[in-house]
Amino acid sequence: MKLRKSYLLIAVLLVLSMLMPMKALAYTFDQNDIIDDSVFNNFNSMSSAQVDSFLNGFPNSCISSNHGFSAPDPTGYNPTNGFLYGGNVTAGKVITDAAQAYSLNPEVLLATLQKEEGLVKGDGPYGCSALAISASVGYGCPDSGTSYNYSGVNLYSINGTAVTSVNGTCVNSASKAGFAQQIIHAAWLLKFGQQRSRGNISWAVVKGNWDNSDDPQSCYGGPTLQGTFAVCPSSPATFHDGYYTIDGTSVHMNSGATAALYWYTPHFHGNQNFYTIYTQWFGSTKSVPLPGCDEATNTTRSCVWYLTGPNGQPYYTSSVNDRQWLVDNEDFTYQGKAFFGNVIPLTGNVPVYRVVMSDGSDFITANKAEYDGLIAGGLQGLGVDFYADPGDVNSGYPVYRLYNNSTQTHKWVATIGDRDTLINQGYNYEGVAFTSISSIRQEVAPLTGQELVYRFSNMPGNTHFWTSDVYERDQMISSGYHYEGVAWTALPTSTSLPVYRLYSPALNQHLYTADTWEGAVLTSHGWRSEGIAWYGNPTNNGHPVYRIYSPTTFEHFYSADTWEGAVLTSHGWRSEGAAWYQP
């Protein structure tokens, strides 16, 4: 966008006692960090209805729907025609549409409207005149003080009557004069300044009717953060110390949003007014630390966080610091916990590597050859991010990998429901990437081609229970059943010997058998089949799992421990031999 912002500081005397007391807390202006990027970027902080309701809370507001105010709706941009506008809408709609277009917090625009011309409260030096509203946020107003006259411009409307002319405005172009024109230009400039201040020279909003593909051709000469990067497309990357002189004082830019505000208004007084208004109305300008990993109750387990980038690209990381940085400084949105891993490898774990892709997303893989190949292709490798269990083991939860051809993005999910939802959305299923660490109880992963069988005691009727289903295991642990750990291993494949699980409602007991005839007899006598529990070794060459029976309690007990079996038989239990064999 080939536009240039000149600056005008319109002194607006703010009487703090007259401001709406939205927040009772006191905040301190930090000249180096006026507002954090994550707050600046929160474009969903208010809906258009909420903005209109907020404006209607001020009896003398110039731009409230109660005042009958409306203005053209900003609907798009392209390099040929510039900004595009639709029919007249409320101020709340104008503000939120501009905020949505450029991923800017509408609260920032409201505070700027009040800071520049007092339009929110209607207490500015020019009241609710065309002079004030034509320069709503001071965009395109040279410091020289030159005035301009315009006619035939849709500046705004009051009760359906359009105001189309203004005399003596500071705005230096008719295309910039008027409420909607000011709001959309300001939203663009604030976001452009934030992005360029940290060296993002390729930033451009290209979506729907918004085609800012000419932005990367523009140069930037405002405040910058500290770092080595280019600020203009044709210039080389150079070191920037992050300092910028404001009113004779050297100020360090600690956020891109702070740099954008100083570029927009290069004075302390104006930005202190902005800060005072914002904190009075909306609270702190500093980001709230993101939630911690409550499941990380030991020294190894960690959450793996899921975020989306400014273009919706997925990103996964186990690093709390990386997650906070991306949200605070890189326009990423925190989406929640994706799954769990270990930050320190335990027995049976495999490393999961992370690669930064060209679109700002990341790619995670437990396949070292795949990781090395991506790095060889020129992508940035970040090494091991966390540790998980191998894919297709039941020590935790399978993490499914899917790919979308149209967006060329991968996603990883840990539930069957999420997997199937993505498949229905057009993603291609690429199998199990690795196994998430269970946040309930971690066991050592079995050998390749085997699965774990878990044991519980003190069940109803003082019986025992076995399952190979980690979902069932964790639900039972969470429900308070007494977990005794891994009993033995089994085979997961249907080519092996099936072991059936049956349940007797009368006895309130489970029975496990590899004998299909026994299972058929029991089901014909009131037992309920619960399907295949797991698979044993069909060759009987592995280690036996013994079945032992108590004539007193009518309970069947299973154990791969010969000593345990011997103890029980010495106390009146009856051995029934090997029920099946382990791998």
Q: Are 137 and 35 in contact (CB under 8 A)?
A: no
- Beta-bridge partner residues of 488: 453
pLDDT at 14 over 60: no
Helices 91-102, 48-56: axis angle to 10 degrees equals: 140
Q: Are strands 497-504 and 463-467 parallel, antiparallel or unpaired?
A: unpaired
pLDDT tens, residue by residue, 352-407:
999 999 888 899 999 999 999 999 999 999 999 999 999 989 999 999 999 999 98
Tens of pLDDT, residue by residue over 542-559, are: 899 999 999 988 889 999
For position 26, what pLDDT does the model report? 62
Give the number of residues written for the chain. 583
Residue whose tokens read 């060296």: 199
Structure tokens at 262: 């100083």
CB 39 within 8 A of CB 105: yes
The band of 7, judged by pLDDT with boundaries at 50, 70 and 90, is very low
pLDDT score, position 16: 31
| Choice between 162 and 459, residue whose per-residue pLDDT is larger | 162
* Better-predicted residue by pLDDT, 235 or 212: 212
Determine how many CB atoms are found less than 10 A away from the CB of residue 207. 12
CA separation for the pair 531, 528 (Å, rounded): 9
Q: What is the pLDDT of residues 400-459, one digit of tens each?
A: 999 999 989 999 999 999 999 999 999 999 999 999 999 999 999 999 889 999 999 988
Tell me which DSSP letter residue 444 carries.
Answer: P
Band of pLDDT at residue 142, cut at 50, 70 and 90 = confident
> Average pLDDT, whole number, for the chain?
91
Residue 231, pLDDT score: 92
Which residue has better confidence, 17 or 360?
360
Q: Which two tokens stand for residue 101?
A: 């277009």
Q: What is the gyration radius of the CA atoms in the chain, in angstroms?
A: 33
Residue 582 has pLDDT above 70, yes or no: yes
Q: What's residue 405's pLDDT?
A: 94
Distances (CA, A) of 67 to 74, 91, 182, 557, 572: 21, 11, 19, 80, 90
Q: What is the pLDDT of residue 492?
A: 83
Contact present, 391 and 366 (Cβ < 8 Å): yes
Q: What amino acid is encoded at 128 in this protein?
A: C
Helix axes 91-102, 106-117, angle to 10 degrees: 120
- Which one is predicted more confidently, 416 or 12? 416
> Closest Cα to residue 403, out of 372, 435, 357, 438?
357
Q: Which two tokens stand for residue 114?
A: 């009040």
> Can you say whether the dihedral through the CA atoms of 529, 531, 533, 536 is positive or negative?
positive
Q: Are 37 and 195 in contact (CB under 8 A)?
A: no
| CA 259 – CA 189 distance, rounded (Å) | 12
Among 185, 177, 64, CA closest to 131: 177
SS3 content of the chain, % helix, strand, coil (to 5): 25, 30, 45
Structural contact between residues 57 and 318, judged by C-beta atoms closer than 8 angstroms: no
Residue 4, pLDDT score = 31
**Which residue's structure tokens are 């399907």?**
531
CB-neighbour burial class of residue 539 (10 A; exposed 0-12, middle 13-18, buried 19+)? exposed
Scored b (16 or more CB within 10 A) or e, 45-62 reads bbebeebbebbeebeebb
Q: What is the pLDDT of residue 145?
A: 77
Percent of the chain whose pLDDT exceeds 90: 81
CB 262 within 8 A of CB 244: yes
The per-residue pLDDT for 18 is: 33
- The closest alpha carbon to 365, from 454, 449, 430, belongs to 430
pLDDT at 10 over 60: no
The pLDDT assigned to 325 comes to 84
Averaged pLDDT, 40-48: 93
pLDDT at 23 over 70: no
pLDDT at residue 1 tops 50: no
Q: How far does Cα 373 stand from its chain's mean position? A: 28
pLDDT at residue 19 greater than cutoff 80: no
484-532 confidence digits (pLDDT tens): 999 999 998 777 899 999 999 988 899 999 999 999 999 999 999 999 9
